[in-house]
Structure 1
């Protein structure tokens, strides 16, 4: 430790190193300031629309830690704020090897006690089971590695379509919802969801959050495209290539994009 301290002091005596250190500090201060500016603001204006009906869907895999530390309680609080009669919760757990199944059983018991409608499916099918099938048809491709491998997107699409089956059954029974809310295994609170529900006064095809797994880097760039259809420029500020998207974020306005998914995705149900 002493050697490291001495070396640092020697470097600081050099003007160029002092200058670079100052630039680095200013850059990080600017980065943090932009994130706080973009992701803070008053929450009192975001009032629950208790007449709005929301279908909540979520897929989990090895999520025990966040389920027990945060997610279960947050979902219960959200359902209560939206109105228990206005929500239906559909969850699919996919072959976890941690204790996600028991965590979701605990959630199921609480939801049952609160008389909140739900469909929670715990699957024993693992990823190894999925890739070990003998008939490798739709969703499989021949890769440069000389293998026939399962593509990630068709696999996830199939799971997400499956979790919407209760929504279709409810529709056949004459029950309609205003929004479909996809919740990933992320940290959120009720105000976060209300912000999304009230995006552009509720007038949107889709509204998504930004998911920061390693701040200031946001997570999941796969589906996100800016107002001009470009992929994210980078995972830190300024994030987007399109000027319209960047300027909206600086104004703390809803950021126009052509597609999104990310940590939370809300879609108008038609």
Structure 2
């Protein structure tokens, strides 16, 4: 992942990229790897903010509230209004290839999308299965299915999936998302959050989609050709 990020920054240009990473609670070599990455970014003069934290997750912490806080910490440079960028490329812990990010950035521009997602997969019984069924919803509001060619109930989505064409959805995340940076700026900046008392329980990414729609950011697009692997 670090190697791909460095190549991405080199191709786009250091004056057009900011790398923001927030890590906490790791018990492996993650902190050491991030220190090496921080040093490399400094040598290459690529703007960055890499925060490593030893604060563990408490047993009493609400999982979604905790995850929302982590994602918001990664977005701190935007929330502080210290940066002005067009798009945020948000990565989960997935394997990805550099062309996938460029294609998502391209499709985000072509469709003037506020949220553009790849499709993420895992292996089930020797075959690839769509992973993020908890968050992804087709334009009819139905959850995605794990089977690749039967991924949605929306007919337009099914045809688009078959021919590898981007299609409109109500919500997506799928491990790799490109987001219009404007949604995180200004006094009405959207933040990741947990469900309010009278809301149905949902992922912080699902709630982000709902908040985007409520704020008028309704162009959410899935790009079937671009894959991320869990």
Q: TM-score range by the shorter chain?
A: 0.7 to 0.9
Equivalent residue pairs, number: 178
Point out where structure 1 has 5 or more consecutive residues left out of the alignment: 1-70, 132-148
| Per-residue deviation, 1:261 | 0.9
1:267–1:89 distance in 2 versus 1, CA, 3 Å: same
Q: Which runs of 4+ in 1 moved over 4 A?
A: none
Measure, in 1, the Cα distance between the counterparts of 2:100 and 2:29: 27
Q: SS of 1:196's equivalent? A: helix
Deviations 1:40-86 (A, max 9, x none): xxxxxxxxxxxxxxxxxxxxxxxxxxxxxxx1101101111111110
Measure, in 2, the Cα distance between the counterparts of 1:243 and 1:202: 20
The 8 Å contact of residues 133 and 143 in structure 2, kept in 1 or not, is answered as yes
Point out where structure 2 has 5 or more consecutive residues left out of the alignment: 183-230
Q: Which residue in 1 is equivalent to 2:72?
A: 161
Q: Which residue in 2 is equivalent to 1:205?
A: 114
Instruction: Compute the TM-score of the two structures, normalised by the length of structure 1.
Output: 0.62
Deviations 1:236-267 (A, max 9, x none): 43111211111111121112211111110111
| Per-residue deviation, 1:168 | 2.3
RMSD between superposed Cα atoms in Å: 1.6
Q: Which residue in 2 is equivalent to 1:241?
A: 153
Deviations 1:18-54 (A, max 9, x none): xxxxxxxxxxxxxxxxxxxxxxxxxxxxxxxxxxxxx
Q: Which residue in 2 is equivalent to 1:50?
A: none
| More helix as a share of residues | 1
1:181 to 89, 104, 121: 89
Q: How does 1:211-226 map to 2 (within 5 A)?
A: 211-214=120-123, 215-226=127-138
The 8 Å contact of residues 226 and 258 in structure 1, kept in 2 or not, is answered as yes
Instruction: Compute the TM-score of the two structures, normalised by the length of structure 2.
Output: 0.73
Q: Which residue in 1 is equivalent to 2:56?
A: 126
1:84–1:202 distance in 2 versus 1, CA, 3 Å: farther
Measure, in 1, the Cα distance between the counterparts of 2:113 and 2:19: 22
Q: SS of 2:142's equivalent? A: coil
The 8 Å contact of residues 149 and 162 in structure 2, kept in 1 or not, is answered as no
Q: Which residue in 2 is equivalent to 1:102?
A: 32
Q: Which residue in 2 is equivalent to 1:114?
A: 44
Q: How does 1:46-65 map to 2 (within 5 A)?
A: none
1:262 to 174, 178, 188: 174
Decide which structure has the larger Cα Rg and report it: 1
Q: SS of 1:228's equivalent? A: coil
